[in-house]
Amino acid sequence: MVVSRLSLYLAFPVALIAFWPADGPDQRWLLIPLLGALWLGQIFALHQWIRASRWLLIPTGLLTLTILASYLVAETWLSADIWQRWLDHLPGNWELFRSRPPVLSLCMMFGLTLNVLLLSRLGLGSPILLLLVAMGGVWLSYRSLAPPPEYASSTTAVPLAILAALWLFWSAQCLALLPTLHRYWRRILPPLAVGGLIALLAMISWQEQRQTDNLRLYDLAAGEGNDIATRMASETASHFKAMRRFTSFWNMLGYIPSRSEWEQQAKLYHDDFGYFRNIAFIDLEGTVIRVYPLRGNQKVLGTNLYLADSQDRAALDHPLVYGIEGQTGIVDFIQGGRGVISYLPVRDVVDGTLRGAVGMVVSVDKLLNSLLAQTSNQDRAVTLSGDRQLYFHYGPLGNLADWQYQQPVTLGADLLTLRVAPSLHWLQVQRSRLPEITLAFGILLAYLLHMVLYIYRRLAHQHRLANRANVSLREEMKERERLQQEIEWIARHDELTQLPNRRELLRWMDDHRDPLPLALLICDLDHFKSVNDHFGHLEGDRYLKTIAQRCRLPVERAGGLFARYGGEEFVACLPNCDRQTAGEIAEALRRAVAESGLFLPGNVPVTLSIGVSITDEPPIRRDRLFQAADDSLYRAKQGGRNRVVLTDAS
């Protein structure tokens, strides 16, 4: 008893050491007042002032639970921003990420408080409470002494003085209960062992889930970094490909363009790629004689790049001397700013004579800002650096995670490093609540199971395990049924357009051979390859989905089936449809595509060519029906596209 009181008297003064020296508000500013209230409540209980102890400890326990709830409540119910706004009402600069104590320290605080409120009685679960506190203390001690986990998304350790105080509180309560434990240990040991095992499994699951969630958050940041890098590579390849087309135009002309000719052609490409600083024409002497746009680039016009204090002379030699493409690394522009310059040689296609070079000037800031504008996440810092120099920074400067994702990227002739560092706010919002829910409910289950086993022993325990097994089996059966339905749907439909696929079309035709006549329409988008080449496959996919939704309605209203046959080719099958009706429906499909608001490069509307075959004589030969429709489609293409050609399948 003397050692128990000594531990209690030492606990709070030891905790106060954590405040020296005092910094800005952090977890200590919450833990030490809670420890002080627990210390006073336990002193009151030691002196049998039970009512005063409860009046002090009940609010302490509720406050501890409230802080613990910030780990458990879903973001959609009570967001991190709301918790932060509550902290903003306190004096000082409180930040949720740094101010909120680790979840295990809160669990230890609540367990010690609850044990005092329960007067350390065996029948009310004091042994399991002290065991749970000890297990949490061991885990918290390890985290406080070991390096923090990689990609941590929350605080995991407490100051050593506070940790020592928690152990002193536990020692005082455990020593006070030790005589009773020694007397009834045979009665307590089996349920205590089971409860401890459940708690251990909950803590292991919590740790694994938290680590998995940390990796998930890292993967999100990595995925965003990869996405930015991929977009950068794709955008670079796209504008380089466009500039090759631009250069080939001047190769065919065979002479140096006039100012008006240059501005007329360069404007089209400059408008397509908003991050171009300018597009210039350099003569064989290295002098810039044409530039678009002129505004903001007056300093460049007339400048001899060989004589100017520029960093791109070696790259300029490639097109002007060797007749090959050249690229700089990141350089400082003459007109201000920095970026990458690509040089493409211009030569006469007849005799191969070099006429000069096209200079494509890409602004790094504009390029990356245009890529980042396509993402919704703003709670992260994105930097681009190389050779100990920072070239680009986007996002917050402070309150960032201790870790960051980095990936090498190539920009021009430089190998750079792209880094993505999430903000602390983003970590708070995105972190999963499941690990802490697993921990909290695992500890609660351990306590309740200990209580049930203490009274009923094995009967209640076996009933709980059987109930869990039944619930798990039902969930597994439901999941298997759902997966089976999903697999069947995927096997019969095109995932992009949500239309039936070729397999479903053929099955449907077999099931709907009657009534005759039967019409088959093969629809093919005209010049659709140019959409993918010019706008990219993502935009091409959007075109296909839009056209699929517009075309399926007329066919389905007529009792037919509209399916994607492959690529940009669609097939409509219409039973009980004569020649006139088939032609009308085909014309409706053609008009629907022409009026869809989708355009090919050059602002030309997307059009549809349709070949139609009709048969009214059984038996239906599916191969002949398809061949006749395909021949009609060929004639529609040969006849100028955007038209319907009908034929009878013999």
Q: Does the pLDDT of residue 252 top 60, yes or no?
A: yes
Report in angstroms the alpha-carbon separations of 259 from 256, 301, 503.
10, 12, 58
DSSP states of 600-615:
ETTTEEP-EEEEEEEE
Count of residues in the chain: 650
Q: Does the pLDDT of residue 86 top 70, yes or no?
A: yes
pLDDT band at 461 (very low <50, low <70, confident <90, very high): very low
CA–CA gap between residue 86 and residue 30 (Å, rounded): 14
Per-residue tokens: 127: 């042994």
DSSP bridge pairs for 138: none
Would you put residue 288 in left (φ > 0), alpha (ψ -120 to 50) or beta?
beta
- Neighbour-count burial of 185, counting CB atoms closer than 10 A to its CB (0-12 exposed, 13-18 middle, 19+ buried): exposed
The mean pLDDT of 332-339, rounded to a whole number, is 82
The mean pLDDT of 290-313, rounded to a whole number, is 80
- The pLDDT value recorded for residue 23 is 64
Q: How many CB atoms lie within 10 A of CB 469?
A: 10
- The pLDDT value recorded for residue 522 is 87
Q: How many CB atoms lie within 10 A of CB 646?
A: 21
The mean pLDDT of 342-352, rounded to a whole number, is 84
For the chain, the average pLDDT equals: 83
DSSP states of 335-402:
TS-EEEEEEEEEE-TTT--EEEEEEEEEEHHHHHHHHHTT----SEEEEEEETTEEEEEES-SSSB-S
pTM of the model: 0.62
Per-residue tokens: 278: 């300018």
pLDDT in tens, 220-251: 888 888 888 888 888 888 888 888 888 888 88
User: Residues of the chain with pLDDT > 70: what percent?
Assistant: 94
Would you put residue 101 in left (φ > 0), alpha (ψ -120 to 50) or beta?
beta
Q: Does the pLDDT of residue 467 top 80, yes or no?
A: yes
Output the CA torsion sign for 299, 305, 306, 309: positive
CA dihedral 425, 429, 435, 440 (to 10 degrees): 90
Per-residue tokens: 466: 């059987």
Cis peptide before 21 (omega within 30 of 0): yes
CA–CA gap between residue 23 and residue 25 (Å, rounded): 7
Report in angstroms the alpha-carbon separations of 540 from 373, 377, 551, 567, 570.
21, 25, 16, 10, 15
Mark out the alpha helices in 254-325 (DSSP H runs).
259-272, 313-317
Report in angstroms the alpha-carbon separations of 516 from 21, 474, 504, 644.
92, 48, 20, 21
Query: For the ranges 77-86, 154-163, 207-216, which has the lowest average pLDDT?
Result: 77-86
- The pLDDT value recorded for residue 591 is 86
Tell me the HSE value of 452 on the side-chain side, using a 13 A CA sphere: 15
pLDDT band at 500 (very low <50, low <70, confident <90, very high): confident
Residue reference for tokens 């597009």: 279
Residue 463 contacts by C-beta under 8 Å, 6 or more apart in sequence? none
Contact 383, 416 (CB under 8 A): no
pLDDT band at 298 (very low <50, low <70, confident <90, very high): confident
- The pLDDT value recorded for residue 163 is 87
pLDDT band at 201 (very low <50, low <70, confident <90, very high): very high
- The pLDDT value recorded for residue 462 is 54
Contact 352, 340 (CB under 8 A): no
DSSP type of residue 322? I
DSSP type of residue 146? S
For residue 383, the one-letter residue type is: T
CA–CA gap between residue 433 and residue 456 (Å, rounded): 33
Q: What angle do CA 206, 212, 214 make, to 5 degrees?
A: 100
Output the CA torsion sign for 312, 317, 318, 320: positive
- The pLDDT value recorded for residue 4 is 67
Per-residue tokens: 578: 């004569």
Q: Which helix (H) or strand (E) holds 524?
A: strand 518-525
CA–CA gap between residue 569 and residue 178 (Å, rounded): 81
